[in-house]
Chains A and B, each alone.
Chain A
Amino acid sequence: MNLRRDVFQAIADPTRRAILLLLASQAITAGAIASNFDTARPTVSKHLQILTECELLKQEQNGREIYYHLNAKKMKEVANFIEPFRKMWDDRFNKLETVMKNYKQKK
């Protein structure tokens, strides 16, 4: 479990995805995050630790409380990794369209 620390490992777990969704709109304390789940508190803490190590979450000290908030820049990595693959298919399909338009004209 401690082998890989990247965004892809972070989002592979349903609880961690739920935490990310929870933090999408606001910064929340660890206690408030835990209260949203039936899971034991240490388990939620472990998830928060992994998300922090993956740099998807940032911690901010506010008085006695630690608030967690999303690191939007890192979240973007998840969206970006699919782009070269999408580009490859888009190029291919553009070509298909051109080839078939020429084919139609030749007929």
Chain B
Amino acid sequence: MELKTKIKAEDGKQELVITREFDLPVELLFKAHTEPELIEQWMSNPYATSKMLKFEGKKHGSYQQQSTDANGKVVFSANGAFHEFIANKKITRTFEMENAPLGVQLELLGFEKLTDNKSKLTTHVIYESSAIRDQVLKSPFAPGLSMAHDRMQDIMNKLK
């Protein structure tokens, strides 16, 4: 099956662009990014349950998220701050994974209305360096892939 999500990662650059068209009105696409309970639902997967520990969806606000495995063990935690929060148009935020040497990334999320029932999300991610970007691409650290999940578990276990 063809993936609907497209990723543009040019050689040697420290950024990438993730685009995806949704079968949803732009208002609902935006809402999915503003309600903690909704974010938790779509960020969770069979291996990890996502939880928003803190979420202030507004300019100068910040967020803190955490994922736990079936045993309640924390397998992923991240945080960041919002720089822009414009309804149905744009979210600018930082993102930093805790306990991972991948630095801070800047994320610019653009929300676009295509038709009354279709919308497009363009996520422009800028990393500290092209080496870090490639590291992120090569090893999807986030829960969602059981392999990456296991690897992360090992790292977390070592930190304990």
Contact = CB atoms under 8 A, between A and B. Distances in A.
Interface of A: 8, 11-14, 17, 81-82, 84-97, 99-101, 103-104
Interface residues of B, number: 33
B112 to A, nearest CB: 15
B49 to A, nearest CB: 13
A68 B73 CA distance: 53
Contacts of B32: 96, 99-100
B11 A86 contact: no
Interface in B1-27: 3-7, 9, 11-12, 18, 20, 22-24
B137 A95 contact: no
B87 interface: no
B123 to A, nearest CB: 8
B145 A89 contact: no
B31 A100 contact: yes
A11 B11 CA distance: 7
Contacts of B69: none
Contacts of B134: 8
Interface stretch (B37-45, B78-86, B98-106): B37-45
Majority secondary structure of chain A interface residues (helix, strand, loop or mixed): helix
Across chains A and B, which 5 residue pairs bring their CB atoms closest together, nearest first?
A: A96-B42, A90-B5, A88-B144, A90-B3, A95-B42
B42 A99 contact: yes
Given A81-B137, A86-B5, A92 B28 contact: no
A86 to B, nearest CB: 5
Contacts of B144: 88, 91-92
Given A82-B137, A86-B5, A99-B41, A104 B20 contact: no
B142 interface: yes
A50 to B, nearest CB: 15
A91 B145 CA distance: 10
Interface centre among B4, B5, B134, B137 (most CB of A within 10 A): B5
Contacts of A84: 140, 145, 148
23 contacts: A8-B134, A12-B11, A81-B137, A84-B145, A85-B7, A85-B137, A88-B140, A89-B20, A90-B3, A90-B5, A91-B144, A92-B42, A92-B43, A92-B144, A93-B121, A95-B42, A97-B22, A99-B32, A99-B38, A99-B41, A100-B22, A100-B29, A103-B31
